[in-house]
Amino acid sequence: MKKPFYQLEQTRDVIRQFTPNWFTMTMGTGVVALILPEFPFAQGFLWQLATLLWQFNILVFITFMTLYVLRWLIYPQEAKQIFSHPAMALFLGAIPMGLATILNGFLKYGVAIYGDAAIQIAQLLWFVDVILAVGIGILVPFCMFHKQEHQLHTMTAMWLLPIVACEVAATSGGLLLAHMEASQQAIGILFASYMLWGMSVLPAFGILTILMLRLALHKLPSKELAITGWLALGPIGTGALTLLVLGAQAPQVLTLIHLESLGVFFQNAGIVASFMLLGFGVWWFAIAVLTTLKHAATELPFNLGWWGLTFPLGVFTLAILNVGHQLQVNFIVDTGLAFAAILMMLWLMVMGKTVQGIYQGNLFFSPCLKAWLEREQA
């Protein structure tokens, strides 16, 4: 076991070992902050608690980003090895997804605190998020094709991580439109968000198809990777949520160019498509639960991959709640709240184990650094 983080022999060891999979913590915490006020009880308290959690998540994200930038500045040769690592490179997608939860929070909580400045901040962050999501969504798969070694039997749902960031940014685009007047810029954001959806959902479903083949041919992943099955809920849930959010804004935005009827079509088609996606999500949720229970017979080793229990389930829950609110069907909303309750319990468990791992110092480990050092010594 490593020494606790406050007893590390070298003060820069945390920076040297810092990897982007830590940003999955900001993803999970951010989505919990966005869902908390959906519960119908103790509205005032939950709103304040969610606001504090969102602000805490901002501090965590800034801390992690500072550590990762310092790693590139202090250890550039070691940091760039991430592009050759077949697993750790995938977690670069967690950076824009973690940022998306923060900008969504500016729209949900920031307006009451900072006024219209919150919308301007969110708009700026959205453009940054899109650049990161598109860049990572193209660069990381290219590195997979060009520099990395992959085999079918070692494939996991982590392949989805760099891909899903674009549709998460598309969802944020739809949320941003709700705070904007109909304008040429709003039209651009609407259509760009639909394109981001296509850049993400279509490749993601290609990956899910291959993943089902891998599971059929090579059985379940090892217990260290058992949680990765939950990641499949990410593109499914976000895909549905994006269509719902964009569809809700499309009629008003497209009125400017006299295409309100097209906007109504987008809205109705989004609701129908979201039910289809949510149906697929229920199927995959069951598979993920059964996979976890199968491995739970023996103790599951904790790692940062456990944060995969939170964000994918969170966006799936938000999609259910959104369609329930749009249709004003109570049992759909109640179903979403049941998933939200499960999410809260999972978040508390994973956060507790993460804090314990930070205290003990055994979570600060860079697989890409280890692999590079072994190659250098060979």
Residue 311: predicted pLDDT = 97
Q: How much is the pLDDT for 297?
A: 80
Model confidence at 253: pLDDT above 80: yes
Beta carbons within 8 Å of 210's beta carbon, 6+ residues apart = 152, 155
Count of CA atoms in the C-beta half-sphere (13 A) of 39: 19
Domain count, the chain: 1
Exposure string (b/e) for 120-142, b if CB count within 10 Å is 16 or more? Answer: ebbbebbeebbebbbebbeebbe
Closest CA to 291 of 231, 349, 352: 231
Residue given tokens 């219209």 in the structure block: 116
pLDDT tens-digit map of 337-370: 999 999 999 999 999 999 999 888 788 888 888 7
Q: pTM to 2 decimals?
A: 0.94
In a domain, residue 358? The reply is: no
Confidence band, pLDDT 50/70/90 cuts, at residue 12: confident
Give a yes or no: residue 357 inside a domain: no
Distance in angstroms (rounded) separating the CA atoms of residues 23 and 29: 10
Q: Specify the residue for token string 């439109």.
A: 177
* Residue 243 forms part of a structural domain: yes
- pLDDT per residue over 34-75, tens digit each? 999 999 987 899 999 999 999 999 999 999 999 999 999 999
The pLDDT score that the predictor gives to residue 41 is: 86
User: Stretch 114-130: mean pLDDT, rounded?
Assistant: 97
How far apart are the C-alpha atoms of 87 and 80, rounded to whole Å?
14
Residue ranges making up the domain that contains 133? 10-336+345-352
Q: Contact, 247 vs 173, CB < 8 A?
A: no
Q: 260-284, pLDDT tens digit by residue?
A: 999 999 999 999 999 999 999 999 9
Domain presence at residue 2: no
Query: Could you tell me if residue 376 is inside a domain?
Result: no
Q: Pick from 310, 376, 300, 308: which is nearest to 343 by CA?
A: 310
pLDDT value at residue 10: 56
- Tokens linked to 239: 């895909």
Instruction: State the average pLDDT for the chain.
Output: 93
Can you give the CATH number for the domain in which 46 is found? 1.50.10.150
Nearest to 238 by CA among 338, 158, 166, 333: 166
Q: For residue 13, what pLDDT band results from cuts at 50, 70 and 90?
A: confident
* pLDDT tier for residue 4 given thresholds of 50, 70 and 90: low
> How many angstroms separate the Cα of 90 from the Cα of each of 53, 85, 164?
26, 9, 11
Q: 164 lies in a domain?
A: yes
Give the model confidence (pLDDT) of 74-97 as tens digits.
999 999 999 999 999 999 999 999
Q: Is 224 a residue whose pLDDT tops 80?
A: yes
C-alpha torsion sign, points 181, 183, 189, 192:
positive
On whether residue 271 sits in a domain, the answer given is: yes
Q: Is the pLDDT of residue 174 over 80?
A: yes
| Interacting residues of 77 by C-beta distance below 8 A, sequence separation 6+ | none
pLDDT number for residue 1: 46
Q: Is residue 3 part of a domain?
A: no
Burial class of residue 46 (count of CB atoms within 10 Å of its CB; 0-12, 13-18, 19+): middle
pLDDT tens per residue across span 279-337: 999 999 999 999 999 988 877 889 999 999 999 999 999 999 999 999 999 999 999 99
